[in-house]
Structure 1
Amino acid sequence: MKRLSTLTLLITLTVLLIAACGAKKDNNNGGTQDPAASPTEDVSNLPGQAAWDAIKASGKLRIGTEGTYAPFTFHDESGKLTGFDVEIAEEIAKRLGLKAEFIETSWDSIIAGLDAERFDTIFNQVGITDERKEKYDFSDDYIVSKAVLIVAEDNTDIKTFADLKGKKSGQSLTSNLADIARENGAEIVTTDGFNQAIDLLASGRIDATVNDGLSFLDLKKQKPDLPLKIVDEAPDAAKNAALFRKGNEAMIEAVNGALAEIKSDGTYLKISEKYFGADVSK
């Protein structure tokens, strides 16, 4: 009986030892562990991750843009959509393994289109403002520009923004440029965008327009005889970026990563010099 009891004890100890070794082996090879004990932190669970995964699965990034705002987004002589913002967006989409799908719409309805989820983001010289940041999120800025006051070449009444009081200024209603005109007492004449404002100004139907300085310089390069001039310039440069609905941090982080990449490898500078002859990120 004593011999039998000893044998039973040895068998029991052997079974327990084998079980313990098996459990240890399982833990070392992907067995169930306490998540808190994991040595690597899960960083993929950002807000909007599911939405970003769905975009990646679709293979395309839907981008809202005007298509009528040279040199940022416009159609060339062949009818192809091109421009600084268009090329930047295409490069970013390519770095993310996606195809850029542009959806063209007028400026005054473009943000409403983002709200309605017609597109995933907007690349269209969108100025970063405190008012917009309350409802939307931005990527890192990728272009810096100044607002300028444009009038007819023979206009001697308007010399500064303050002279806009009581004058007709052609502006897109939802643009931050319209805010500058409004704050200086101008009577706002609604336009669809830069081109219409310039047409109205050149034909004498408005007195001025507050618009983007880079756009006007590009216009004068294309039409040097156009009888318009810049008489004043905003003291502070405005930063512009891609616009997103709130709650899309995963997508924004990916876009910022791609933007940083094209800046570091020289692609951004190449596009910038193509359209402006300088680095417009500073």
Structure 2
Amino acid sequence: MVWRAVRVGLALLGVVVAGTSCSGGAQRPAAPASRLDDVVARGELRVCSTGDYRPFTFRDADGRWSGIDVDMARDMAAKLGVKATFVPTTWQTLGADFAAKCDIAVGGVSVTLDRARLGFFSEPYVVDGKTPITRCADVGRFQALEQIDRPGVRVVVNPGGTNETFARQHLKQATIVEHPDNNTIFQEIVDGRADLMMTDATETRWQARQHPQLCPVHPDQPFTFAEKAYLLPRGDVVFQQWVNQWLHLALHDGTYRRIAAPWIG
């Protein structure tokens, strides 16, 4: 009786094993599709960028693109064996444009929780923070937020980005002046139509090199902590991991340093 039960049990086990063996290939779930495969199959990496935030991204009047992140995106595309196609966007429409038109967004994109709801971020490649830039004669006037947030102080902002968000969160008495063109916004300070702008320390250093009349205010000790990273499709771990590996190598094999040197030294 016991032996008969054992034989029946072994027979049933054999059926289960055989069934699993026969059907395993057909029932195994397919690996989820990744944007990485789409990009390679398409032969094109679609890159959203604002083109107005040097040294990271710039698009001139003739439509030519340049900047640290522009060249980094080109390097990424080359490593994938595809071409990079740049898609103009604005800080106000970045989220919608990225979701509808692009595989990646680059150009000094600050990591924020709101943007993290729209997509994944790569590993950060720059640590930054908000700090003022003003006429060199006025550096001593604007060392602290308490000195900036006073009646009569005019703070210029580019609409839609983290600069405007920071200014509106912290300034209640100063006058916030919107200027729609981030490529010409610093001339507003040079010409006296604004007193300062608060932006990322990296940008203040670069703009001070372009405008000798302007000086960054304590760029090594900004008011905030922020990081720059690349915005990637939400939920696509495969693509995110590939981008992170490419970025890790670029930061350590001299690629990023070579690309950034002409812009920030």
Alignment TM-score > 0.5, same fold: yes
Give 2:198's aligned residue. 210
Displacement, 1:64?
A: 0.9
Corresponding position: 1:276 with 2:264: yes
5 Å-filtered alignment, 1:55-204, equals 55-75=39-59, 80-115=64-99, 117-155=100-138, 157-165=141-149, 166=151, 167-185=153-171, 186-204=174-192
Corresponding position: 1:34 with 2:24: yes
**Higher alpha-carbon deviation: 100-109 or 50-59:** 50-59
CA–CA distance in structure 2, aligned partners of residues 33 and 271 of structure 1: 52
Structure 1 residues 94 and 35: alpha-carbon distance in aligned structure 2, compared to 1, 3 A threshold: same
Deviation string, structure 1 residues 107-157 (Cα, Å, up to 9, x no partner): 322233113x12222101011122322333211112222322122234364
Deviation string, structure 1 residues 49-68 (Cα, Å, up to 9, x no partner): 25443322111111011223
Q: 1:230 aligns with which of 216, 220, 235?
A: 216
CA–CA distance in structure 1, aligned partners of residues 244 and 97 of structure 2: 22
Structure 1 residues 32 and 262: alpha-carbon distance in aligned structure 2, compared to 1, 3 A threshold: farther
- Runs of at least 4 residues off by over 4 Å: 75-79
The normalised TM-score by structure 1 is 0.73
Q: How many residues align?
A: 239
Give 2:31's aligned residue. 45
CA RMSD across the alignment: 3.0
CA–CA distance in structure 2, aligned partners of residues 88 and 240 of structure 1: 13
CA–CA distance in structure 2, aligned partners of residues 76 and 176 of structure 1: 23
CA–CA distance in structure 2, aligned partners of residues 235 and 64 of structure 1: 28
Displacement, 1:80?
A: 3.5
Structure 2, unpaired ranges of 5+: 1-17
Displacement, 1:198?
A: 0.6
Displacement, 1:101?
A: 0.6
Structure 1 residues 207 and 222: alpha-carbon distance in aligned structure 2, compared to 1, 3 A threshold: closer
The normalised TM-score by structure 2 is 0.77
Structure 1, unpaired ranges of 5+: 1-26, 278-282
**Higher alpha-carbon deviation: 194-203 or 230-239:** 230-239
